[in-house]
């Protein structure tokens, strides 16, 4: 509880815009907590690959066929 008291004290000293940023951070943490660990990695991968053109599966098969 000591950390919670210190955190609340620090929040009291922040300005409006910083408080809004902290609030957004809290919402993000709560949202991530609700996701299953496997979903987190899956969604992160989807976001990372969303701008890539072509098929990742095809690229992997091409790379494997070159090794044979």
Supply the range of the domain harboring residue 29.
2-67
Provide mean pLDDT across the span 37-43.
73
pTM: 0.47
Give percent of the chain with pLDDT exceeding 70: 91
**Residue-wise pLDDT tens digits, 9-37:** 999 999 999 999 999 999 988 887 776 66
pLDDT top residue among 20 and 38 = 20
Q: Count Cβ atoms within 10 A of the Cβ of residue 41 and give its class: 0-12 exposed, 13-18 middle, 19 or more buried.
A: exposed
Q: How many structural domains is the chain composed of?
A: 1
Residues 49, 56 contacting (CB under 8 angstroms): yes
Cα separation of 43 and 35, whole Å?
A: 10
């Amino acid at each position: 509880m000591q950390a919670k008291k210190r955190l609340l004290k620090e929040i009291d000293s922040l300005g409006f815009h910083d408080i809004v940023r902290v609030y957004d951070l809290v919402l993000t943490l709560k949202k991530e907590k609700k996701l299953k660990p496997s979903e987190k990695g899956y969604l992160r991968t989807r976001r990372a690959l969303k701008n890539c053109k072509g098929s990742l599966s095809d690229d992997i098969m091409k790379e494997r066929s070159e090794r044979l």
